[in-house]
Structure 1
Amino acid sequence: MTMHPAPHRDPAPMLERALQEWGDRSDLWVFGYASLIWRPDFDYAERRPATVHGWHRALKMWSRINRGTPECPGLVFGMLSGGSCRGMVFRVDKAHARQVMINLWQREMVTAVYDPRWLVCHTPHGPVQALAFTLSRKSPNHTGELPDHEVCRIFEQASGRYGTTRDYAQATYDELRKHGIHDRALARLIALAKKDA
């Protein structure tokens, strides 16, 4: 399936705004809900389980670089409004926070598809405000509802610079289970793809 590339947004002003909002005043918290849990790619001082209300994890974002190509887009997770999301928050020492944010932008915001937000994350030791990468339903990168057969085809065919959509979904599922997090929607997709294989 050939898809036209989504309109490009410049990630630099979005990084500058996030850095200003953080303000270099304290340690940085980052909320992970998918690959950031099992491959954060940054050093952190502390990690806690966390829940965000008002947003949920969904495998409904086109990936034309990391888990697919422009000719055969893959899928990655985004956080869509509504519901709640269990994941992990990572605390980064203030001294390293600016560089970690720059590195996160190079990883997550190559094409600026996410809308970075500071969200309240509820942890066993109290709430923290953390940087999270959310997705608008109005984004051209939002897949909308895909039929099961299309998801199975993507799991079978899509692969990008970090590997396949199937492996990405499985790794996220396995890591969530390791932390006692059961994502019913993801479990259904994993089972569906295995049945179709």
Structure 2
Amino acid sequence: MDEFWVFGYGSLMWNPGFPHVESQRARLGGYRRSLCIWSWVHRGTESDPGLVLGLDRGGSCSGMAFRVAPDEWGAVLAYLRERELVTKVYQEKTLSLALADGRKVKGVVYVADPAHVQYAGSPEPDVAAKIVHAAVGASGPNDAYLFNTLTQLRAMGIHDHLLESVAQNVEKLRG
């Protein structure tokens, strides 16, 4: 492997948590961003789960790609596995990414496992909003995750209709 890239589509975009030497917008084909994961650790608990993003099959997803320096590859991969594979609801894959500057690279990507017990499918925005509004996990409130992700997406000029709709419903619940 000549380069090590990581694709972020949710919290990795605004909180990668690892050193990188380059970052830029990227597109992943064949998967779409979806609130399809029951969060039992970071944004909820097993008894009161939150909802977090996963990459579900179909469509495409714009996000951020981060290039990691060669001397950091092992440490970054270990960090990502500890963070993303804590309950094995994500599958680690190496997939093709299209970078904003026109380059095509391979990157480490974490996609949803639809056979896993934490796979939530596609809840309607009003249902998702009730869950997101109420849940809290080890990394904080579920709604903070949603709004931080939306802030990053908006800054990148990405309009995610599903997340915008969930956020509007959360705002209604806040009163």
- TM-score normalised according to structure 1 size: 0.84
Indicate the residue corresponding to 1:16 in structure 2: none
Indicate the residue corresponding to 2:151 in structure 1: 174
**Which runs of 5 or more residues in structure 2 are unaligned?**
none
Residue 189 of structure 1 pairs with residue 166 of structure 2: yes
* Separation in structure 1 between the aligned mates of residue 71 and residue 82 of structure 2, nearest angstrom: 19
What are the superposed Cα offsets for residues 120-178 of structure 1, whole Å, 9 maximum, x if unpaired? 11112311110000013222211123244432321221000101111101100000111
Query: Matches of residues 36-185 of structure 1 in structure 2 within 5 Å?
Result: 36-123=12-99, 124-185=101-162
Secondary structure of the structure 2 residue equivalent to 1:171: helix
**Which runs of 5 or more residues in structure 1 are unaligned?**
1-24
Q: Assess if the C-alpha contact under 8 Å between 2:129 and 2:167 holds in 1.
A: no
1:166–1:96 Cα change, 3 Å? same
Instruction: Give the deviation of 1:181 after TM superposition.
Output: 1.1
| Structure with higher strand content | 2
Q: Assess if the C-alpha contact under 8 Å between 2:18 and 2:76 holds in 1.
A: yes
Secondary structure of the structure 1 residue equivalent to 2:54: strand
* Separation in structure 1 between the aligned mates of residue 142 and residue 122 of structure 2, nearest angstrom: 17
* Separation in structure 1 between the aligned mates of residue 54 and residue 143 of structure 2, nearest angstrom: 16
* Separation in structure 2 between the aligned mates of residue 98 and residue 147 of structure 1, nearest angstrom: 39
* Number of positions where the alignment pairs a residue of Structure 1 with one of Structure 2: 173
2:95 maps to a residue whose letter is L
Which region of structure 1 is more displaced relative to structure 2, 149-158 or 109-118?
A: 149-158
Secondary structure of the structure 1 residue equivalent to 2:166: helix
* Separation in structure 2 between the aligned mates of residue 54 and residue 167 of structure 1, nearest angstrom: 28
* Separation in structure 1 between the aligned mates of residue 7 and residue 55 of structure 2, nearest angstrom: 11
